[in-house]
Structure 1
Amino acid sequence: MNSTRYTTLDVLRGSSVLFLIPLHCMMMYATAETWKNSILGELMLIAERGTPVFLIVMGFSFVFSKRQSAKAVLKRGFKILGVGYLLNTLKFVVPILTGILPANLIEAHGLAQSTSLSNMLHFFLLGDILQLAGVSLLIMGILTPLLHNKYAVLLFGLIIIGTAKLVSGFNVNVIGIDYLLDLLWSNKYNVYFPIFPWMSFILMGRFLGMLYKEHKASSKKYNQLVLFYALGIIGFGMLLCVIDYTYHFGDYYHLGPGGTLLLLGVNMLFLSIVPLFVKFIPQQINQLLLFTSKNVTSFYIIQWVIIDWGMGIFGFAQLNQFQILLIIPFYTLLTFIILKFKDNLWLASSERELKRSL
């Protein structure tokens, strides 16, 4: 992969991560009125629609990973799942045990106000983007022999898109099995990013990475191909949304084929557009985006934990636009301070290990 393409991926991933703090502050702190009738609310709705670019970059980067064996992919999948449930513990279970999780948040999840085991289990099992990433890797690991061809990857992604609404919400009424099925295609908010349809973004990123491998000698041709695919997907997605918007785009987290294709195409465009501008990005900003890109998982965990714990001070869904704008810089700075402190601890530990080995 050439340096421009590397930089493009870092810019996309780093930018998407930086938008998380304003977005999650809105999600946890903003009143319904702030969401509906503020400029910040409108901007965060747009930013939320940019989540797929992170998944596309994940799939693209997968193609260039040295850990391509089924065993290695499965190991990564289980590791990410473990991190996902650890994050749920830190975000929700710890605040429940310490009594700082707001009552109206618990009620918003349809739960009785208590510190019962059932409440903690509900929040522990919530499916978010790390569960999506982990399960997607497990599926790709199992299907490793079938996904060597780029068109097999593309077909698998299209099958997921086309069948997502058909299987959405299907259960067999067996505890445990139903949870696994929910991770695949839940239509409720116990899983925010079910495999059907969200894994299709990862698969499309993988397809684009494989396509890039074939055309890396000609960036111009590759960008033209991506543009061709993106515009075609956008056009078809828009048509489906016009025909039945509620079915295809009525629920952002449980999209139909049209909404998935529309978001997919729009986010794919960034892979063609961003390379045209990366050389104009100031060095300081470029370094910042590189840092956040390389520390994406740690950044994601840290900002979520401190924002959720902050509900002990600011409550859930209680702040207006001005108040949220005041706390976003604070959370951003605090996240970077904790991340830097973590890096320094890791560096000091590595140096001690090196000295012991000499």
Structure 2
Amino acid sequence: MTIPIQEIAQPRNIKPSRILAFDLARGLAIMFMIVIHVLNFYGSQEVQQGLFGTVIKFIFGWPSASVFVFIMGTFVAYSDNQNLSLGLKRAAMLFALGYLLNLMRATIPTWLSLKMGLVTYEQLGPHTPINGLLVVDILQCAALAFAICILLKYFFPNPKVWLVTAMVVTFGSPLLWDISSGIAPLDQVLKIFWGNKYQGSLFPLFPWLAYPLVGMAFGQWIKQCDDINKAFQRTLLTGVLVVAIGAIITLSNTAFHAADNMRSGPGIIVTMTGVVLIWLWLCQLIINKLKPNSTLKLLFFWSKNVTGIYVIHFLCIGWGLMIFGAQQLDLFGTILMMLGVGIISNFVIQAWLRITHTPLINSNRLIEKQSAA
């Protein structure tokens, strides 16, 4: 898909039809995910618990997934061409892709590792081939959230409804957590919605749905703004206020609100929503200040091909474990693996786009026109 240059060749105080800060934020989120996933899967405990691992998790860990799903909601509202039927089909395909990825990145490599004697069941612990297949990761969560967002946009096209729904999800999710039926197949379904990481639910829909819902309201609001830079200045102020409110809520019962980073309480959800808003302001600032460069080009390319990059990088990680082992690399090896997975993922997605004759986005021209405007 090529973005017409006329869409962004306008003065800075006029709202463009595509906000490049959103693409930058999503591209950075993918980069952060690659770094965090490689660290978690390949870095030794000494690396993960050392200064490098601690800093990486603090800097890169907080914005990646929340920004990813927030921006998804933003694009849903910001897009003018949202077909309900096609959107629901896309959501269904994304949901199925999540389990196909589980099969290809976890189940098959793990099974082969067992058959080849590379690992034992004792070494795997809970990470068996079957459990790897049933993991609820961000693709399943994003697929369900995407379907809900486009249904809300179609049947309830009012941002106030979206924000109220986000508040209900944020503060009501803990009431649903860990509800089970005692029937194993049914509980496998329930964990998609409110399970915990010990059950293999890394991104339960509740409370993660709150981020794209707020993202929708944000996307609709910024779509109606005439001055994009003034809008992002207000975004910064709003983000600071929301962070302050979230911090107060969290401090009221820290053990509850911050108990689980994959299934946070309302206080952390509110805080992180504010952080995402501040992060988007920072991305807009970067777009305004930086000249065209290869890094921006790469991040825009990754944003446009977000699903492909996500799938490919996880396939690299899953199959690479058969060669390098789990959590075995030292600091230097971990850094090399981060670079290697990123480079391979980028090379493979470009090759795939060429094979399928998909036009590559001309990021250089897009950035240059934005900068010249």
What's 2:286 paired with? Answer: 277
Between the aligned partners of 2:49 and 2:98, the Cα distance in structure 1 is 30
When residues 100 and 335 of structure 1 are mapped into structure 2, their CA distance, relative to the original with a 3 A threshold, is: farther
Structure 2 unaligned residues grouped into runs of 5+ = 1-6, 8-14, 360-373
Are residue 50 (structure 1) and residue 82 (structure 2) matched? no
Between the aligned partners of 2:22 and 2:305, the Cα distance in structure 1 is 13
Q: 1:110 aligns with which of 114, 126, 130?
A: 126
What's 1:116 paired with? Answer: none
What's 1:125 paired with? Answer: 134
When residues 280 and 36 of structure 1 are mapped into structure 2, their CA distance, relative to the original with a 3 A threshold, is: same
* Secondary structure class of the residue paired with 1:170: coil
Residue by residue over 1:78-120, the C-alpha shift from the partner in whole angstroms, topping out at 9 and shown as x without a partner, is 0110111111111112203322696479756526xxxxxxx43
When residues 348 and 323 of structure 1 are mapped into structure 2, their CA distance, relative to the original with a 3 A threshold, is: closer
When residues 106 and 203 of structure 1 are mapped into structure 2, their CA distance, relative to the original with a 3 A threshold, is: farther
Q: 2:100 aligns with which of 86, 92, 116?
A: 86
Deviation for aligned residue 1:54: 1.5
Between the aligned partners of 1:221 and 1:104, the Cα distance in structure 2 is 58
Are residue 252 (structure 1) and residue 265 (structure 2) matched? no
TM-score by length of 1: 0.87
Are residue 233 (structure 1) and residue 261 (structure 2) matched? no
Whether the 8 Å CA contact 1:17–1:292 is kept in 2: the answer is yes
Query: CA RMSD, aligned part only?
Result: 2.4
* Secondary structure class of the residue paired with 1:169: coil
Q: 1:15 aligns with which of 9, 16, 28?
A: 28
What one-letter code is carried by the residue in structure 2 that aligns with 1:170?
I
Whether the 8 Å CA contact 2:72–2:146 is kept in 1: the answer is no
The 5-angstrom pairing of residues 1-358 of structure 1 reads: 2-3=15-16, 6-51=19-64, 52-99=66-113, 103=119, 107=123, 110=126, 119-144=128-153, 146-189=155-198, 190-215=200-225, 217-283=226-292, 284-347=294-357
Whether the 8 Å CA contact 1:60–1:209 is kept in 2: the answer is yes
What one-letter code is carried by the residue in structure 2 that aligns with 1:204?
V
Deviation for aligned residue 1:149: 0.3
Deviation for aligned residue 1:25: 0.9
* Secondary structure class of the residue paired with 1:126: coil
Whether the 8 Å CA contact 1:5–1:275 is kept in 2: the answer is no
* Secondary structure class of the residue paired with 1:99: helix
Residue by residue over 1:149-178, the C-alpha shift from the partner in whole angstroms, topping out at 9 and shown as x without a partner, is 001001111111101222111112223322
When residues 142 and 7 of structure 1 are mapped into structure 2, their CA distance, relative to the original with a 3 A threshold, is: closer
> What is the aligned-residue identity percentage?
25
Whether the 8 Å CA contact 1:73–1:140 is kept in 2: the answer is no
Structure 1 unaligned residues grouped into runs of 5+ = 112-118, 350-358
What's 1:355 paired with? Answer: none
Between the aligned partners of 2:176 and 2:44, the Cα distance in structure 1 is 33
Between the aligned partners of 2:122 and 2:55, the Cα distance in structure 1 is 26
Deviation for aligned residue 1:198: 0.7
Between the aligned partners of 2:246 and 2:121, the Cα distance in structure 1 is 34
When residues 57 and 182 of structure 1 are mapped into structure 2, their CA distance, relative to the original with a 3 A threshold, is: same
Deviation for aligned residue 1:16: 1.4
Whether the 8 Å CA contact 2:76–2:149 is kept in 1: the answer is no
Between the aligned partners of 2:244 and 2:120, the Cα distance in structure 1 is 41
Between the aligned partners of 2:273 and 2:125, the Cα distance in structure 1 is 29
